Amino acid sequence: MTDELAAPTPAEREPVEPELVESESGRSESGKPQSGKPRMRADAKRNTEQIRRAAIDAFRGRGLAVPLEDVAKAAGVSKATVFNRFGGRIGLIEAVIEELVAAELYAIVDHARTIANAGERIAYYLAAIRELQYRQPAVNDVLLQMYPESQQLMAICHVAGEFNAELIAAGHASGELRAEFRTDDLEALVHDSALALKYGTRPPVADYDRRTTFLLDGIRRPRE
Amino acid sequence: MTDELAAPTPAEREPVEPELVESESGRSESGKPQSGKPRMRADAKRNTEQIRRAAIDAFRGRGLAVPLEDVAKAAGVSKATVFNRFGGRIGLIEAVIEELVAAELYAIVDHARTIANAGERIAYYLAAIRELQYRQPAVNDVLLQMYPESQQLMAICHVAGEFNAELIAAGHASGELRAEFRTDDLEALVHDSALALKYGTRPPVADYDRRTTFLLDGIRRPRE
DNA sequence: CCACAAGTTGACCGATGGGGTCAGTTTATC
DNA sequence: GATAAACTGACCCCATCGGTCAACTTGTGG
């Protein structure tokens, strides 16, 4: 599977999308023999994985806009090799975004869905998503759709967006969420956090968490 | 007075600060004759005012980062003339920031101070400052201290910062503000708004105002 | 071991957006 | 009319980073 997910070789670079689609189809169809000879040299395979790991580390600490030169250096290869193996930044993002962002984000969504009480579900989700945003700059790049050419990035946003709507509906149905607080308000709230973290100074964690509390209290339905 | 506040002429450009200081001192000391011959040609004087007005318009719609080329074009002069008359962006900001930002911001502060009830004062101030931020991109550049070399800009921030502390103290003394909400929380709140407006998409005004309400409700002391 | 294609790379190019400069020209003033 | 103030079109520079390519290196199969 790693072979198919690796960036196309230089010869295949132009039809990047068709190649990936083709690989996906091939993987989806059972019965395809995996015993064929490897399509990538050992050094290329090794480099690809090193670049992938270096990208995950770099993106994790500094977000998706890290200079590719830095990723290459951390992987011990030249920048041109990053282009050769992954086609560029988008290809690199596509290769790591599942492990880097989607896994954790979807885990939060999945866990939230197990919480029966709507008010608690919203409180859990908002706190968890904000904590993830605080800790993971790449998450903010995703939520802000900084690289819309990345299909996987956009798919993650789509999932998060749908869950926002789900949360709001449940909160209103249960009466625990103030009536005027809408899906786009929740989206703006998360989006503004992303912008503040991306372009501002990250505050001490205690301050940040305290402010999550204020936000939550501002969207609860007042008790009569 | 406009003459003294105009940018130095090319010959005086290097000692920009001393010249301004000197002009300030001269103005402060009474008795200096104002009947002397003008120190600027009529065209220079006219251009300086045109640039000033063009800058106010441009900064008002798009913030302090507007390309100087755009300001020059709107003023009907060359970019070099902007440099000649104002020394550059900082000089231009210094020439307009009082009228552009300080006047309105200080009016909000002054009016807030007339409100006796602390809770209402905070509500008024937060709504008014957020409304100003929404309407005036330049205000966000000021609050974000985008140009720290501008003394007047930094002075405005200082005033706003002191008023934040005043507000918080009054809110706590009256018991209408939740105890954990601190000065730096208020500053972060305003700051985050500035970042969201500067780097994000400006939402419809109704949505924005609604969100001001949520913020306010999140910082009020809960009623027992 | 050799041939050869895959794979890598150091050096370089180009884009971007706008700040800033200057020699030549124009204009206001005395 | 002389002259200094003022203006300007053309150009330079910057800093960063995405992207390319001819030359070189390396892995693989026969």
- Whether A140 and chain B come into contact, CB under 8 Å, resolves to no
Interatomic separation, CA of residue A80 and C1' of nucleotide C13, rounded (Å) = 14
Amino acid at B197: L
Amino acid at B27: R
Mean pLDDT over A113-135 rounds to 96
**Is any atom of nucleic acid chain D found less than 7 Å from the CB of residue B6?**
no
**Lowest mean pLDDT segment, chosen from A91-100, A138-147, B26-35:** B26-35
Burial of A158 per CB tally in 10 Å (0-12, 13-18, 19+): exposed
Mean pLDDT over A46-52 rounds to 95
pLDDT top residue among A129 and A5: A129
- Whether A180 and chain B come into contact, CB under 8 Å, resolves to yes
Q: Does the distance separating the beta carbons of B213 and A217 come in below 8 Å?
A: no
Chain B residues with beta carbon closer than 8 angstroms to that of A200 = 191-192, 195
- Whether B211 and chain A come into contact, CB under 8 Å, resolves to yes
Chain centroid to CA B89: 14
Alpha-carbon span A151 to B124, nearest angstrom? 44
Residue B190's closest chain A neighbor by CA? Answer: A196
Burial of A29 per CB tally in 10 Å (0-12, 13-18, 19+): exposed
Cβ neighbours, 10 Å, residue B121:
21
Q: Does the distance separating the beta carbons of A216 and B181 come in below 8 Å?
A: no
CATH of domain A2-25+37-87: 1.10.10
**Is any atom of nucleic acid chain C found less than 7 Å from the CB of residue B89?**
yes
Instruction: Look at residue B222 in the predicted model and tell me its pLDDT.
Output: 73
CA distances from A198 to A63, A138, B184, B196 (A): 9, 9, 19, 10
Three-state SS letters, chain A:
CHHHHCCCCHHHCCCHHHHHHHHHHHHHCCCCCCCCCCCCCHHHHHHHHHHHHHHHHHHHHHCCCCCHHHHHHHHCCCHHHHHHHHCCHHHHHHHHHHHHHHHHHHHHHHHHHCCCCHHHHHHHHHHHHHHHHHHCHHHHHHHCCCCCCCHHHHHHHHHHHHHHHHHHHHHHHHCCECCCCCHHHHHHHHHHHHHHHHHCCCCCHHHHHHHHHHHHHHHECCCC
pLDDT top residue among B17 and A141: A141
CATH of domain B97-219: 1.10.357.10
Alpha-carbon span A141 to B56, nearest angstrom? 34
Tell me the per-residue pLDDT of B9-52, one tens digit each, with 9 for 90 and over: 333 333 333 333 233 222 322 222 333 445 789 999 999 999 99
Tell me the per-residue pLDDT of A151-185, one tens digit each, with 9 for 90 and over: 999 999 999 999 999 999 999 999 999 999 999 99
Provide ipTM, 2 decimals: 0.83
Interatomic separation, CA of residue A43 and C1' of nucleotide D28, rounded (Å) = 11
Cβ neighbours, 10 Å, residue A15:
11
Residue B4 pLDDT > 60? no
Residue A17 pLDDT > 50? no
SS3 B201: coil
**Lowest mean pLDDT segment, chosen from A22-26, B151-155, B207-211:** A22-26
**Is any atom of nucleic acid chain D found less than 7 Å from the CB of residue B206?**
no
pLDDT top residue among A12 and B151: B151
Tell me the per-residue pLDDT of B96-122, one tens digit each, with 9 for 90 and over: 999 999 999 999 999 999 999 999 999
Residue A186's closest chain B neighbor by CA? Answer: B211
pLDDT top residue among A5 and B139: B139
CATH of domain B2-16+38-87: 1.10.10
Residue A215's closest chain B neighbor by CA? Answer: B218
- Whether B185 and chain A come into contact, CB under 8 Å, resolves to yes
Cβ neighbours, 10 Å, residue A102:
19
- Whether A14 and chain B come into contact, CB under 8 Å, resolves to no
Q: Which nucleotide minimizes the distance between its C1' and the CA of B44?
A: D6
Tell me the per-residue pLDDT of B157-212, one tens digit each, with 9 for 90 and over: 999 999 999 999 999 999 999 999 999 999 999 999 999 999 999 999 999 999 99
* Residue A146 to chain B, least CA–CA distance (Å): 11
**Is any atom of nucleic acid chain C found less than 7 Å from the CB of residue B3?**
no
Domain boundaries, chain A: 2-25+37-87, 97-219
Alpha-carbon span A192 to A200, nearest angstrom? 11
Q: Does the distance separating the beta carbons of A200 and B207 come in below 8 Å?
A: no
- Cβ atoms of B117 and B134 within 8 Å: the answer is no
Alpha-carbon span A14 to A17, nearest angstrom? 8
**Is any atom of nucleic acid chain C found less than 7 Å from the CB of residue A216?**
no
Q: What is the largest CA-CA distance in chain B?
A: 71
Chain B residues with beta carbon closer than 8 angstroms to that of A191 = 196, 200
Cβ neighbours, 10 Å, residue B80:
11
Q: Does the distance separating the beta carbons of A196 and B192 come in below 8 Å?
A: yes
Of residues A177, A161, A158, the one with CA closest to residue A169: A177
Mean pLDDT over A114-139 rounds to 96
**Is any atom of nucleic acid chain D found less than 7 Å from the CB of residue A39?**
no
Q: Does the distance separating the beta carbons of B192 and A200 come in below 8 Å?
A: yes
